[in-house]
Amino acid sequence: MPKGEKVSGYSQKYTTKWERDDELKDWIGPDPSGKIDQAYCKYCRTSLKCHRKGLIDHSKTNKPQNCVLKEKSALKTKKLYSTFKPIVTEKTKIAELKIAAFIAEHCFLKTIDHMIDMLPQLDPLSDNLSKFKLHRTKCTILIKNVIGMYAARAN
Ligand SMILES: [Zn+2]
């Protein structure tokens, strides 16, 4: 195309101006395959003709709006790690393992429930003592699957 030639609406090139256009900026981008006469809808993931009116029409169809809504609800959805925060620190894990090992060696498994419930009472101000979540079920699993496995491998 000769330089300076006036382009009609239908053979327009993509312009970054649209990325600052209130009606387009939320979803528009350059065509990922590099076609200069195409714009890209980030929400629909489709390439569109570079015609501003057509692009605005596109933004008014339900398609991108649905996509925007989906995108927004996806953003609102809690990330898995914020729902299941790993609250057990390495220190607590090691302490729990030591307690489990102690129980396995010296006590009845039944005593663990009592002992863990009692720990926070020893020092109500201690954050660490109240962090233990080690009752019979978990203690059994630790003894069997962690300590037991380790002991079996060491032999
Ligand atoms: Zn779209």
Which residues pair with residue 28 across a beta bridge?
41
CA of 35 to the centre of ligand 1 (A): 17
CA of 48 to the centre of ligand 1 (A): 8
**Per-residue pLDDT, 93:** 86
The DSSP secondary-structure symbol of 59 reads H
SS3 119: helix
User: What would the two tokens of residue 65 be?
Assistant: 């709006």
Please provide the distance, in angstroms rounded to a whole number, between the alpha carbons at the two ends of the chain.
79
**Per-residue pLDDT, 87:** 65
User: What would the two tokens of residue 47 be?
Assistant: 């390439």
Mean pLDDT of the chain: 81
**Per-residue pLDDT, 84:** 58
Find tokens 């009116």 and name the residue: 53
Q: pTM value?
A: 0.42
**Per-residue pLDDT, 8:** 47
Residues 5, 9, 11: CA angle, nearest 5 degrees? 65
Using an 8 Å Cβ cutoff, are 44 and 67 in contact?
Answer: yes
pLDDT at 7 over 90: no
User: What would the two tokens of residue 25 be?
Assistant: 């900026």
pLDDT at 65 over 60: yes
CA of 66 to the centre of ligand 1 (A): 9
The Cα 61–Cα 79 span in angstroms is 30
* pLDDT tens profile 35-61: 999 999 988 888 999 998 999 888 888
Pair type for strands 28-30 and 46-49? unpaired
* pLDDT tens profile 69-112: 666 666 666 665 556 556 678 888 888 899 999 888 888 888 88
Domain positions in the chain are 9-77, 90-154
**Per-residue pLDDT, 152:** 84
CA of 65 to the centre of ligand 1 (A): 8
